[in-house]
Structure formats: structure tokens, C-alpha cells
Amino acid sequence: MIVPWARWVPSPNASDREGVEVDAVVLHHISLPPGEFGGGHIEAFFQNRLDPGLHPYFRQIADLRVSAHFLIDRRGGCVQFVDTDRKAWHAGESVLGGVPDVNRFSVGIELEGDEVTPYTELQYQTLERLLGELMRAHPAIRPERIVGHEHVAPGRKRDPGPLFDWDRVREVAGRLGG
């Protein structure tokens, strides 16, 4: 599924789901460079065109090949990088419900943010709208299968972080999935 109201910026960092049904959403946070928002660096990163000369941190990650299906920026703008019928490379080594390779059966959503900055109201509004679209297009997604990167890669990842309002998102997802 391609969301018609999201800006389409295709990433080459995707592959076939091999017939596996989408039944989960994994929420992440990202800021490039760390702790800084805006600048288009996330899009460049997911398209393998991040300039390592722009920031010392970029030299560490410029050769990584990762993506997500969506990015929700601080102003609530939504960018789609990978069709949800394809596997985006967002969760890395991960397990959900005892099943490894979470990328095969999940949609990855990046929220522009970090562990110390609260997410914006506009980000939550866009996330809620997007979750509604995803749950209609992929009816196997249940509210309890909307998780954080911290839940599928514990000890390795901490996003979307302690400031994320899980109660709000779970309440909305429950209404959408009910």
C-alpha cells in the first residue's frame, strides 16, 4: 500500500516479504545528526545518499543500508519510503512473539525525535491517521501488535523512548481495531 497523502520518496533498502502477511507495526525514533531535527538528512540516509562529510556522526552510519516505511517529522509531515507490501529494513535483529526477523511481517514508522524531546501533537495526529490507514489495509494488525523498537530488540534499542505516549496510541488503536 502506498498512502496517497504521504510524500513518496522511494528507498532502495527494501525486499520481498516472501508472502508473509503484515500483522505488526514497529515505532522508532530518529534524528540526524543525533538530537537535531530537520535538514533532510533522514531522507538522504534512507536513500543511501547521506554525505559523510556533513557531520562527524554521518561517517559512522553512511555505509549502513536501512529504511522504514514511513517517517513522521516534527511538523506532522509524513514521508513514505517503502510500499507496505514490501519489507523495509528497519528493525534489524529482532523478535516479536517468538518470531524472528520482524521486518518480514511489520511496518516500520520512524518518528523524528529522540529520547529526551517530547513528540509533538502534530506527530501524534499524523501517527493516528496513519495507523488507521494501516489497520484498514492490513487487517491482521491488532492494537497489541503496535510496538516499539525497544520491544522487538530489547537491550539493543530504546525507541521510541520514555516520552512516547503509549496510553494515547493504544487507546486510539483500540478504537480503530475494535
Residue 56 has pLDDT above 70, yes or no: yes
Asked whether the beta carbons of 21 and 105 are under 8 A apart, the reply is: yes
- Catalytic residue, chosen from 36, 43, 110, 133, is 110
Q: Give per-residue pLDDT as tens, 76-97.
A: 999 999 999 999 999 999 999 9
| 110 given a catalytic annotation | yes
Predicted local distance difference test score (pLDDT) of residue 177: 76
Mean pLDDT of 30-34: 97
CATH of domain 7-13+20-30+67-177: 3.40.80.10
pLDDT confidence of 144, banded at 50, 70, 90?
very high
Predicted local distance difference test score (pLDDT) of residue 128: 97
Predicted local distance difference test score (pLDDT) of residue 5: 98
Which CB contacts under 8 angstroms, 24+ apart, belong to 173-176?
Answer: 173/131, 173/135, 173/143, 173/146, 174/143, 176/131, 176/132, 176/135, 176/143
